Structure 1
């Protein structure tokens, strides 16, 4: 995968995230990770009170988001319209959960942007990562965000290794990426738009757009599949503004 293919404009349609302004002036998506926390605090302060509740310190939750009473939520964080945060999810802070996203039972998020329509529905860990529009991680799949030797993470482009200056860097998933169950995305992984990763894969490095990743030496090109807009889920009146979640201090 060439470095050109890893640019923000190649991986993401930023019209599908409330964080679009964060990407302005940046070339590669990992460049925004260090600024995410302060950006959330600034953006949250501008969100309309009619649409967002502020809970705890620097946590803004849209009034149509469904929040299970057993989740733990730390700030800064923004949870957007129609998001569904399910039982026992652990959201550690510096997170943006986009519109209609699903964060499932026992999932853990930290320093991440989930574009609109992303699903991390079952036992996923996503840290120091960005998941593009309607990306999906199968049950048990995770991003590994720190190298075992604790050195800085490199991105392995065709032109050679690229320094990121980051000790913690999980994965960048382009729009429409599908990650199979129980896969591990190793530090510095970049996956292009509309690519599928087979279950039980250990992905290291970069995978081109519109591909099927079967194994390190078995990556095939597939037909382009358009990412379709999903209708927003109906939010029962009884669920709107529901309280009871645990706020992490």
Structure 2
């Protein structure tokens, strides 16, 4: 059965005390909205509709950056959850499958849980997602018998017996799209807030002889984020799960609690990750690579057998082939390092192509920016770049070429050539002593004045 998703992302999130829309606050270097959309995309939906409201343009831009196929609709004014879902009705008018309603500020619902809701649709017309709460608090209670849902009772309306129920409502709901919108048309707003609530749908379904069911997930999946404290809690929960998954998948973490992953970090088995490594977005590490302590990685690819760090930074566009070595205090940006390249320490390689088995000496800089445009440096195979070489792009160094330490290279270096770009050294006998004496005298004179 085909499925579409409606993701509600219209809220302001005033308790975040922020100018940023709530669903755009980051967890694991990605907006929490992207976490919800990641789970959705795993089920290969026919359509994804994101309902926007507060700062709608920013939310829509983020959703479309995640997936250009996402449709965004505006809820204005905001008259409750059922009203929000109804904004998607025109886009799903001809859709014959099921629809699932999710929330952009509830980022941890697993694809397996969503699939379980779809499976439960074989038995029930409307399916809601519930969880056993450690502290039910003021959550709405699910009154159920087995997997059949009798009713949803809001806390304020619940009896003492109903308040003792620990099965609570997450707000996530699944139903055939056509039925969902038919039921929404019958929802009334005769409540204190004068809003239209999605929680009315199971009762409306049962009133016309249809069945309602419940699927239960772990409470951790239903964590909703309304405050900065809950955002920090969500970050900690994501990182704990990501570390556990990495270890389970054969990755060595020497100090797991100090490693921080992004939503889209991919690491192969038998990779080794040292302490205090931070992963930004879009990092892929192949099996057997090693990242030593105190590295920061973002937008890069590290191949099998490569070693990075300690204290290295890989920025977007860094591509390391097999058996590359990037050492301490090295920064790589938008550069391709072919097999066996060694960049040991204290070096910046930006906007460059480096051929296989080339050695880059300490203190080397590819001078890639002229103040207006970026330019590229090309270094051939088996070259040796002497320490403190400045490569002023655009420039190329040929295969098997060598640059002398301290050189400023402004012209192309042919294959197998030695290039020396130093100013001539001049020694002035005895001048150092005389100069120091003069400077000390000037300093002393200033001290007396």
TM-score with structure 2 length normalisation? 0.32
Rounded to whole Å, the distance in 1 between the matches of 2:379 and 2:350 is: 12
Higher helix proportion (structure 1 or 2): 2
1:111 aligns with 2:317: no
Higher strand proportion (structure 1 or 2): 1
Aligned to 2:287: 63
Aligned to 2:346: 123
Contact 1:183 1:201 in 2 (8 A): yes
Q: How far did 1:214 drift? A: 2.1
Q: How far did 1:70 drift? A: 0.6
Rounded to whole Å, the distance in 2 between the matches of 1:58 and 1:51 is: 20
Aligned to 2:387: 181
Aligned CA distance change for structure 1 residues 105 and 52 (closer, same or farther; 3 Å): closer
Q: How far did 1:170 drift? A: 3.7
Rounded to whole Å, the distance in 2 between the matches of 1:216 and 1:199 is: 9
Rounded to whole Å, the distance in 2 between the matches of 1:207 and 1:137 is: 15
Rounded to whole Å, the distance in 2 between the matches of 1:49 and 1:119 is: 22
Aligned to 1:84: 307
Rounded to whole Å, the distance in 2 between the matches of 1:89 and 1:48 is: 18
The gaps in structure 1 that reach 5 residues or longer are 1-44, 152-166, 218-249
Q: How far did 1:93 drift? A: 1.5
Rounded to whole Å, the distance in 1 between the matches of 2:422 and 2:407 is: 9
Contact 1:170 1:186 in 2 (8 A): no
Q: 1 or 2 for the larger relative contact order (CA 8 Å, sep ≥6)?
A: 1
Aligned CA distance change for structure 1 residues 179 and 73 (closer, same or farther; 3 Å): same
Aligned CA distance change for structure 1 residues 216 and 199 (closer, same or farther; 3 Å): closer
List per-residue Cα deviations over 1:175-207 (Å, max 9, x = no partner).
111100011001201111110100000000211
The gaps in structure 2 that reach 5 residues or longer are 1-263, 273-278, 424-449
**SS of equivalent residue, structure 1 residue 200:** coil
Rounded to whole Å, the distance in 2 between the matches of 1:183 and 1:211 is: 15
Aligned to 2:107: none
List aligned pairs for 1:229-240, cutoff 5 A. none
List per-residue Cα deviations over 1:106-137 (Å, max 9, x = no partner).
10111000000001111010001110011111
Rounded to whole Å, the distance in 2 between the matches of 1:144 and 1:215 is: 15
Contact 2:386 2:403 in 1 (8 A): yes
Q: How far did 1:48 drift? A: 10
Rounded to whole Å, the distance in 2 between the matches of 1:103 and 1:48 is: 18
Q: In structure 2, which of residues 305, 311, 317 is the aligned counterpart of residue 94 of structure 1?
A: 317
Rounded to whole Å, the distance in 1 between the matches of 2:270 and 2:411 is: 40
Greater Rg by CA:
2
Contact 2:362 2:387 in 1 (8 A): yes
TM-score with structure 1 length normalisation? 0.57
**Aligned residues, how many?**
153
Contact 2:289 2:303 in 1 (8 A): yes
Rounded to whole Å, the distance in 2 between the matches of 1:52 and 1:58 is: 17
* CA RMSD, 1 decimal: 2.5
Aligned to 2:191: none
List per-residue Cα deviations over 1:6-46 (Å, max 9, x = no partner).
xxxxxxxxxxxxxxxxxxxxxxxxxxxxxxxxxxxxxxx9x
**SS of equivalent residue, structure 1 residue 58:** coil
Contact 2:388 2:406 in 1 (8 A): yes
List aligned pairs for 1:87-236, cutoff 5 A. 87-147=310-370, 150-151=371-372, 167-215=373-421
Q: How far did 1:97 drift? A: 0.6
Q: How far did 1:51 drift? A: 7.9
List per-residue Cα deviations over 1:148-178 (Å, max 9, x = no partner).
xx34xxxxxxxxxxxxxxx212410011111
List per-residue Cα deviations over 1:80-101 (Å, max 9, x = no partner).
0111101110111111111111
1:73 aligns with 2:279: no
